[in-house]
Amino acid sequence: MTRAEYRLAVAEQVILGWHCARSSGADLAGIWDSDATCTNESLLSAVDEVLLLAEIHAFPMASAARRSMQDALDVAVSCLMEEFLRLKVWDASQMEVRLGVRFAVGKFSMPAADSGVSLSLAFPTTGSISTASTIDELYASGGSQSSRVGAVTMLLDGEFFDELDLISPASLSVLHQIALRVIRAGYTKELLHAFTNAPCDVLDRFLTILQMECAFETDHVSFEDAEWWTAEDMIKRWILATKLVAKALAVMQRQLQAQSCGAFDRFKNDYFMAIAKNSIFVLLRFANGFTTTEAPDKLVYVLEMYEALSNAAPGLLLLFTEQRVELVSRQVEVVLAKLARALRAMIGGLIARIRTADCPQTTGSAARGVGVHPLTRYAMTCVELLSPHRAALDLILANGAGESVTSLGSLVAVLVTSLERHLEEINPKLSNDDDDAAAAAAASRHLFLATNASYVARRAVDAGVEPLLGDGWAARRGSLIARYVASYVEACWAPVAACLETAGRKPVKVAAKFSSAFDEAYESQVHREIPDPALRDALRKAASEMVVPAYSAYLQNHPKLQKNVRHTAGELDRLLWELFEGEAAERNKLLL
């Protein structure tokens, strides 16, 4: 046995013995421990010995010793790859200490709405408006909510990461030693491949916010597999994780480039882009799972996901070199396009729901046919929830969602038009058999339409979408409400005033008939409630102008009736100005 063969045999025995023991499940230490301290000098020396024998071509090409050396070299490099994957390059411990929050699964919680993380009302379901309860804790967590909110606010502060040393200093020398040996062995491709599985303590902590193991293991997370409340919860997690990962990556890149890693310097870009791509692809796979839903109730949440990805994408793509950015950019564009397609389908479903929604009986004023209908509340709540997302919606709808909907403004116009057509179909039917019943039904119909039209106008202003509907929209809306008010007064109070126009009858009987008609109309209207003060005053004013001047003129023309009539003109005016207070009118009602 030659000297070289002896040296190979000794090194081979150490390397293969260690490898076999590890393969059989033995808990053997590697070359370096978690603190990057060399704990197995003999194994490292054996690896170096094999590398040296390979470098000096100690054995002929076709010899058995050469084949043994190559086998030992393969195992030695495999050992180095394993050491690299075990090495803790990134350290999140400073971050946890500074924040006082642990990011292990089950320990980090979501902030409340005032933290800057997007939390919103649940998109309402048909026939009712439900407010989603704030998810105070996405994870079971100790500590106060205020401390959790403060922690996330600090994390989203761009300066916070800059103040931390995210790289473990001891790992740098190990990276150099591993890279040096890999280069000597000619196995750089194997190291580059190992980057795809490289752990990152900082990013992994943030990705655990998703708390969805399947996102790391599969190419698709099905949105439809989750319960509704869970879907909302999941999207909030994803938005937070995306913001944190984007900020962390930018700082990590700067800190890594500022370090001198010796032989590893030539691999720094490839290494960083590999771990960046891995984390981004986790987020993209997760988002991709939400691209198959078409349920309108989930529109706002998926829209927030679309916005979060759109906002984060430019900064994320800047992390990659020109040669690497295309793949990531293409995947981002694919997910955004699929989310946009899903959102357009949801918007189409929302329009259809407004047009075809069942309108069950309700309580209160709406049940008496004059209040704000649940469908109206639903439609305008949808508008209010969508209005903060105008920029994203305009971009999404520019590609068409049908119905000539190409922007948020045109969407609101279609929703309002569809709503009003639907409301026209659910008003009380007019009776052909009874004139009084027909008049009462007509009055209720116009009061109902006026109430809902006024509500739409107010909510459009509150949501900030009125300017999107065109310069003449507010004026047209005012004219429409005025027509409904005039039609209501014509149906309800014009017949009362008409009692004074009876010719050839005794004034006493005319006054008695008028009083009876007034009392009947008053009783039918006094308990109705109009919540909008402006509309309420407009209705009172129009009713008073219809009845009081005519009654006052009649009394002036028949002065002998002044002492025999039940009400003076002033009393009638006061009664009319007490209308539409709802149940409160009962307390203020005068005895007739």
**pTM for the complete prediction?**
0.80
Contact 241, 151 (CB under 8 A): no
C-alpha distance across the termini of the chain, in Å: 127
List, in order, residues 6 or more apart from 19 with CB less than 8 Å away.
Answer: 75, 78, 79
d(CA 440, CA 94): 74
Burial annotation 330-341 (CB, 10 A radius, 16+ → b, else e)? ebbeebbebbbb
Beta bridge partners of 32: 38
Contact 572, 545 (CB under 8 A): no
Burial annotation 531-542 (CB, 10 A radius, 16+ → b, else e)? ebeebbebbbeb
Give me the pLDDT at residue 490, please: 93
Residue ranges in 357-429 assigned as alpha helix (H)? 374-386, 390-397, 408-425
Neighbours of 560 (CB within 10 A): 9
Question: What does each C-alpha distance from 163 to 98, 108, 155, 158 come to in angstroms?
Answer: 10, 21, 11, 10
Q: Which amino acid is at 224?
A: E
Neighbours of 258 (CB within 10 A): 8
Question: What sign does the CA torsion over 348, 349, 354, 355 have?
Answer: positive
d(CA 229, CA 217): 23
Encode 551-587 in three state secondary structure: HHHHHHHCHHHCCCCCCCHHHHHHHHCCCCEHHHHHH
Question: What does each C-alpha distance from 45 to 37, 122, 277, 502 come to in angstroms?
Answer: 15, 63, 35, 120
Residue found by looking up tokens 């655990």 in the block: 208
Closest CA to 30 of 42, 545, 398: 42
User: What domains are defined for the chain?
Assistant: 3-86 (no CATH), 93-106+149-165+198-345 (no CATH), 366-590 (1.20.1280.170)
Give the up-direction half-sphere exposure of residue 426: CA atoms within 13 A in the CB hemisphere: 29
Cα angle vertex 119, ends 113, 120, to 5°? 115
Give me the pLDDT at residue 400, please: 65
User: Would you write out the chain's pLDDT as a tens digit for each of its 592 residues?
Assistant: 789 999 999 998 998 888 888 777 766 677 887 677 887 888 889 999 999 999 899 889 889 999 999 999 999 999 999 889 988 999 888 776 666 555 543 334 333 333 333 333 344 444 333 323 222 332 333 334 444 445 555 566 656 667 778 899 989 999 999 999 999 999 999 999 999 999 998 888 888 877 644 333 444 444 444 444 467 888 888 998 899 899 889 999 999 999 999 999 999 999 999 999 999 999 999 999 899 988 898 899 999 999 999 999 999 999 998 888 999 999 999 999 999 999 999 999 999 999 887 655 444 444 445 789 999 999 999 999 999 999 999 999 987 655 678 999 999 999 999 999 998 887 655 445 566 777 788 888 999 999 999 999 999 999 899 898 888 889 999 999 999 999 999 999 999 999 888 766 788 888 889 999 999 999 888 888 888 999 999 999 999 999 999 989 988 888 888 777 888 889 999 999 988 887 665 555 544 4
Q: What are the φ/ψ torsions at residue 591 (nearest 5 degrees)? A: -75, 125
Give me the pLDDT at residue 587, please: 55
Encode 447-487 in three state secondary structure: HHHHHHHHHHHHHHHHHCCHHHHCCCHHHHHHHHHHHHHHH
CA 400 from chain center: how many Å?
22
Give me the pLDDT at residue 19, please: 84
Closest CA to 368 of 420, 428, 432, 285: 428
Give me the pLDDT at residue 108, please: 40
558: left (phi over 0), alpha (psi -120 to 50) or beta: beta
Beta bridge partners of 90: 167
Instruction: Give the helix, strand, coil percentages of the chain, each rounded to 5.
Output: 70, 0, 30
Question: What sign does the CA torsion over 142, 146, 147, 149 have?
Answer: positive
Question: What does each C-alpha distance from 192 to 196, 259, 264, 450 come to in angstroms?
Answer: 7, 19, 11, 70
Contact 542, 487 (CB under 8 A): no
Give me the pLDDT at residue 148, please: 47
3 burial type by CB count under 10 A (0-12 exposed, 13-18 middle, 19+ buried): exposed
Give me the pLDDT at residue 235, please: 87
